[in-house]
Amino acid sequence: MNKALLEVRDLSAGYITRKGYVPALRGVGLTINEGERVAVVGESGSGKSTLAAIMTRLEPRNLVIESGEVLYKGMNLLRMNGKELRRLRGREIAVVFQNPSESLNPLLRVGDQVVEALRLDGLRGREAKARALDLLRRVRLPDPERIYRSYPHELSGGQKQRVAIAIAIARSPKLLVADEPTTALDVSVQAKILDLLIRLNEEEGTTEVLITHDIGVAYDFAHRIIVMYAGRVVEEGPAEEVIREPLHPYTKHLIKSLPKAGELPSVEERALTAVAAKGCPYAPRCPAAIKGVCDAADPQPIKVGERVVACHAVARDFLG
């Protein structure tokens, strides 16, 4: 029943900066199945946005892909040229960014921006307007006629993000990648936007990848959770299992440090991560680290039931 829509294989990438090369992803492998809601969770700098950018081929110019494949319906996105990618974008793969103000044109009325997306499918005039209004309604914006005529600055943050989602889904993409779509919004609005994404998935079958630093949000949203640390996937599995019975020490830590309502995680939690470190990058912080093992070699992912975990200590427990 699980049919892979997007597969990332052994993906390593980094950035060229003035201070030198900054590795960002190390041997990332994952599968996104058709119709699924997947959350990618990890702390700041773990490589989530880099992964999202490569999945949608919207990576910054200074990014270097060292190795790997990104297969969408079996086609390697990394081998596609600009024209081929433009054909996929919007119609097959769409993106929602953290800051809706950045994805909307401040000079254009909201309605015109939605219509612009629809034009790519050949819709014009009254037909395009009707469909745009329908989209604004589908993202649960109140008074779509008014919103249609508004400029982005006349809308609240939550409304703008709804418009950005309306534009993203305008051409009925199969895959929607949302990179921290609620982080810039008020807490009260965040849950509503997540609800909207969940309903889109349930009603239209859109496959969704949500990038978040908040494992609580990941749990509320996803069927499956992928945990990243220092540019690697450290644990992956059904959301229930990952939360109820985390296997990787880093996942355990994330769940233990889940903030109580209204509390923000402390800055110390966001310790600098070492993507290029020898051995397991989590070893220096890990309570379960095995001396001479974890600091010596990168742990290889192993399958534990429906879970995939990359941890020497877990491997020892399960494989003996």
Ligand X SMILES: Nc1ncnc2c1ncn2[C@@H]1O[C@H](COP(=O)(O)OP(=O)(O)OP(=O)(O)O)[C@@H](O)[C@H]1O
Q: Binds 161, which of Mg ion, ligand X, none (CB < 5 to 8 A, cut-off by type)?
A: none
Beta partners for 11?
A: 28
Q: Which stretch binds ligand X (CB under 6 A): 38-46, 143-151, 169-177, 302-310?
A: 38-46
Length of the chain as a residue count: 320
| Residue 27 binds ligand X, judged by CB under 6 A | no
Does 46 help bind ligand X (rule: CB under 6 A)? Answer: yes
- Which range of residues in 47-55, 157-165, 238-246, 274-282 is near Mg ion by CB under 5 A? 47-55
The answer to whether residues 222 and 39 touch, using CB atoms and an 8 Å cutoff, is: yes
Q: Contact letters (x/-) for ligand X, 170-209, by CB under 6 A? A: ----------------------------------------
CA 200 to chain centre: 16
Q: Can residue 49 be called a binding residue for Mg ion (CB under 5 A)? A: yes
Which CB atom, from 53 or from 166, has the smaller least distance to ligand X? 53
Q: Does 68 bind ligand X (CB under 6 A)?
A: no
21 makes contact with ligand X (CB under 6 A): no
CB-based contacts of 235, cutoff 8 Å, min separation 6: 225, 226, 227, 242, 246, 247, 248, 250, 251, 307, 308, 309, 310, 311
Q: Scanning residues 75 to 104, which ones bind ligand X (CB under 6 A)?
A: none
- Among 10, 44, 134, 296, indicate the residue that binds ligand X (CB under 6 A): 44
Which alpha helices (H) appear in 65-186, and where do they start and end? Answer: 82-88, 100-103, 110-119, 125-138, 144-149, 157-168
Q: How far is Cα of residue 107 from the mean position of the Cα atoms in its chain? A: 28
**Closer to Mg ion at the Cβ: 49 or 207?**
49
Query: Using CB under 6 A as the criterion, what x/- string covers residues 210-229 for binding ligand X?
Result: ---x----------------
Q: Does 60 bind ligand X (CB under 6 A)?
A: yes
- Alpha helix (H) ranges present in 169-302? 187-204, 215-221, 239-244, 249-256
318 binds, among Mg ion, ligand X, none (CB under 5 to 8 A by kind): none
Residue 259 interacts with ligand X (CB under 6 A): yes or no:
no
Alpha-carbon distance 22 to 6, whole Å?
Answer: 26
Give the residue from 93, 33, 86 showing the smallest Cα distance to 224.
33
d(CA 86, CA 82): 6
Work out how close the CB of 63 gets to ligand X at its nearest, in angstroms, rounded to a whole number.
7
Pick the piece of the chain touching ligand X (CB under 6 A) from 14-22, 108-116, 145-153, 308-316. 14-22
For Mg ion, the closer of residues 97 and 250 by Cβ is 97
Say whether residue 50 binds ligand X (CB under 6 A). Answer: yes
Determine, following the binding rule CB under 6 A, whether residue 281 of this chain makes contact with ligand X. no
- Under the binding rule (CB under 6 A), the answer on residue 17 touching ligand X is yes
48 in contact with ligand X (CB under 6 A) = yes
Alpha helices per DSSP H over 139-214? 144-149, 157-168, 187-204
DSSP string, 6-56: EEEEEEEEEEEETTEEEEEEEEEEEEEETT-EEEEE--TTSSHHHHHHHHT
Size of the site for ligand X (CB under 6 A): 15
- Candidate list 35, 42, 144, 281; residue touching ligand X; CB under 6 A: 42
Residue with tokens 């019975």: 245
Q: Which residues bind ligand X (CB under 6 A)?
A: 15, 17, 22, 24, 42, 44-50, 60, 62, 213
Q: Which residues bind Mg ion (CB under 5 A)?
A: 49
